[in-house]
Structure 1
Amino acid sequence: MPSSRFVLTSLALGTLAVVGGCASVPRMSSEECLARAMYFESNRSSEEGMLAVGTVVMNRLESGRYPKSVCGVVGQPNQFAPGVLSKSMGKGRDLAAKTARRVLRGERHPRVEKAMFFHTAGYSYPYSNMQYLTIQGGNAFYDKRRGATVTQRMVAEREEAERAGRLPFNPPQRSEAAAQAVQTPAPAIMRTPVQSSRIARQMTGGKAPSLPPPPGRPAGLDSMSIEDLIQENGG
């Protein structure tokens, strides 16, 4: 049976080894954590797909309902791909890093909007609150909304039509501007009253329609045509 001194010495050495091992692991920057999420969660040759995943990570960070750092969000258990912060990256790593820098500077995928969820495209789930927004890089991105009306299939068909040139892409900001333009009434146009001509008076039995004179014009002239004025002035 080992002595108590031997046991304590062994525990101390083990503790130092653990601490030393932890100290040797480099801390990751926000850019690397974000790039890793993009790399392992999206098609590694799809810039749009990586940008969409990065947008979800930032949406979670900014929501206040997830960890308060990029690495905390990416490393949260059972949220992203297993080994997302530990596995080695290969081809596509440079694209992921480049896209991560763009996201950290404020760029977002316009179709993802404020969504914080996605899954592999083509999978289906029996929930009624999945409002699908876009399919990018092999993933279907969705928001959780009560009474969702847009299915994954509808999004796939719409985006296929857009790629084929049958439908234009209408980002949210453009749709909002169009809606405001429809709701805003056009400014009223002031029209000068049209004076009745001699032909018009003949058609109405010699009586000119009663029209108010325009500002600055004497009331006696409101029923006179241009021809009458010319004759009265010796024209």
Structure 2
Amino acid sequence: MVFFKHSVLATALLGFAGFCVAATPSMNWKIKSSEPINQITFGITINAAAPVDEFYYANQFGFTGGGGIGYTGIQPTKNTQDGKRQFMVLFSSFRKDTSTNHKNCKGGADGAKAGATCRLYVPGKLGDTFLFKVKKEGRFLTGTTLNTNTGREDVIGQWEVGESAGDLAGSQISWIENYKMNNPNFKLTCDNKVWPYYEVKFLPPTGNDGKLQGTISTLSSGSSACPGAITWTHDETGTLVKGGFK
């Protein structure tokens, strides 16, 4: 089972506006602030998603001091043995100065020695909204998730970075990835067996525990492999993305 993103988007840390979005539709998010940002909350509502290991809905974040990026998000996954719905939530770092000893985390990101990956199974159901909170306190970053429908909150993990990281940056990207396509043997076909339908909404982020209101853009592109398979609408409440086949 693939739990976390491949490194194709890690190169976005060099300038996310210029990376290739043909295979991975993305959105730009922004939080304007004259004060340092030490906390960001992202939100994702999952209205429809098959219980399979294939898609990652994620939010990427950076640091004012530069260096590698981090990301946090959610992956639909197989149901529990007793048939209940569950999701995989992630909180990861691509920074070379990252270390961790949290029980949900391990060193390295996407097969690389650098960085860290934290992951956790959480219960949920279709229609739930998950908030992903990133908190930076000194050199430590903690990632948590809150299911607003049930009130359940879980710590995904925690990792430490170098002092040069600075504060959390006020802009980066959010994206949707079919991570099975990172396997060279995977063949995408335009049907519900290989591309099951999903419907997710990315909400505008907030900063510093709700004191700062952010924005999120419309989606960058649809699918070049299956034209018309991805549609979306956008307004001040966020970006609703529908993809795949029923």
Query: Does TM, normalized by the shorter one, top 0.5?
Result: no
TM-score (norm 2): 0.19
TM-score (normalizing by structure 1): 0.20
Bigger relative contact order, structure 1 or 2 (CA pairs below 8 A, ≥6 apart): 2
